[in-house]
Structure 1
Amino acid sequence: MRTLTYFVATSLDGFIADPKGGYGDFLFEGDHLTAQVEEYPDTLPAQAREAMGIDAPNQHFDTVLMGRATYQVPDGLPSPYPHLRQYVASTRLNTTPDDVEVVADPLAKVRELKAEPGDSGIWLCGGGRLAAALLPEIDELMLKIHPIVLGKGIPLFAGEFPTARFAKASTRIFDSGVVFASYAKADVG
């Protein structure tokens, strides 16, 4: 069964980017990055994969969904993840100049993608408002918690959303201070 995983870096105080959408304060060196490269090569943008000489097959995901601001990050690539099917959720964009498909109703799109055959995952890579809108469909949270406090910025989940409960699946602490914390959607009964 296909699942939706919110795999994202966050600060200790729950921000995925600074107020302007930048992420320069996050750690880009260290043993946590080595683990991400080895275990989640599919989550690296094309530019990083090329610079690092990574030609590894996708291990977890065949599809990525991102918010408009994540897709249009300053100095970003027009097609950041060409090794995945790419979707950008936006009501402002109509088209993109590349192979990224624009979707106006991300909740319906995720439900359609989850209904497809196979077991490759769907990666929600960013957008606090998008994450809040998709919270009912998020099956797993994979948080890369960086040892920084931003104080303000784009929150992990932004806007109004229903309470959701998750159960701890795993935790890994790296020498860099980054923690990978994984949570699975909890059965509410």
Structure 2
Amino acid sequence: MCKITYFVAATLDGFIASPDADHSMFLEGQDHGAWVLDTLPETLPTALRQRIPGLAERANRRFDTVLMGRGTYERGLRDGATSPYQHLRQYVVSAGLDSTPDRSVEVVAGDPLDFVRTLKKEDGLGIWLCGGGKAAATLRDEIDELIVKINPVVIGSGVPLFDSGYSPQHYEVVSGRVFDSGVTIMTYTRARP
């Protein structure tokens, strides 16, 4: 059974993007970038993978599927990325999006929980939820692991890590690492009753 990992960058105050879906406040590369390249290389967009020598040929280590919310996908579209993760199976969770400009990106318009439960039963590598806050809130009960790149910045408002109402859910710490850049990468698993 595959597990879902929500791997995402966040601010100290728990936002994954600015109110207009900008990510420029996050530190890119630096010392924590080497950790991402070594540990989760498939989470880099295909266009970036092709610019790093040898990375495009490297096999996926943890994930063969990516899920993203409509806002996350549309942010990539604004930058010209119609198929941002061509090296993964790509799904956009959205009740309001009918189609995408690229056939390799499939829209999940029905019940995303049923869809994800079916995906988790398939053989293969893991499933990466790359954002956004609404998709994470919808799929929260199916998220098995949470990896957060906590950036040393506070923005006050924006897209929250989980865009939902109050409903406590406990996680257990698996690991944590603080980098010289100030970025902390924390890994959690959902506590099971």
- Under TM normalisation by the shorter chain, which class is it? over 0.9
Instruction: Summarize the alignment of residues 83-102 of structure 1 with structure 2, pairs less than 5 Å apart.
Output: 83-98=87-102, 99-102=104-107
Instruction: Summarize the alignment of residues 142-161 of structure 1 with structure 2, pairs less than 5 Å apart.
Output: 142-160=147-165
Give me the identity figure in percent. 52
SS of the aligned residue for 2:130 comes to strand
Aligned-partner Cα distance in 1 for 2:137–2:166 = 6
Kindly indicate whether the alpha-carbon contact (under 8 Å) linking 1:11 and 1:145 is maintained by their aligned counterparts in 2. yes
Aligned-partner Cα distance in 2 for 1:70–1:49 = 19
One-letter amino acid matched to 1:45 = P
Q: RMSD of the alignment, in Å? A: 1.1
Aligned-partner Cα distance in 1 for 2:123–2:46 = 26
Aligned-partner Cα distance in 1 for 2:151–2:48 = 19
Residue range with higher mean Cα deviation, 157-166 or 125-134: 157-166
SS of the aligned residue for 1:126 comes to coil
- CA drift of 1:160 comes to 2.7
Q: Work out whether 1:139 is the aligned partner of 2:141.
A: no
TM-score (normalizing by structure 2): 0.93
Number of equivalent positions: 187
- CA drift of 1:37 comes to 1.1
SS of the aligned residue for 1:72 comes to helix
- CA drift of 1:76 comes to 4.5
Aligned equivalent of 1:8: 8
- CA drift of 1:16 comes to 0.1
- CA drift of 1:29 comes to 2.9
**Residue ranges of structure 2 left out of the alignment (5+ in a row):** none
SS of the aligned residue for 1:112 comes to helix
Kindly indicate whether the alpha-carbon contact (under 8 Å) linking 1:133 and 1:161 is maintained by their aligned counterparts in 2. no
TM-score (normalizing by structure 1): 0.95
Aligned equivalent of 1:66: 68
- CA drift of 1:161 comes to 6.0
Counterpart of 2:85 (choices 81, 84, 88) is: 81
Aligned equivalent of 1:103: 108
Aligned-partner Cα distance in 2 for 1:136–1:162 = 11
Deviations 1:21-46 (A, max 9, x none): 01011001311011101111110001
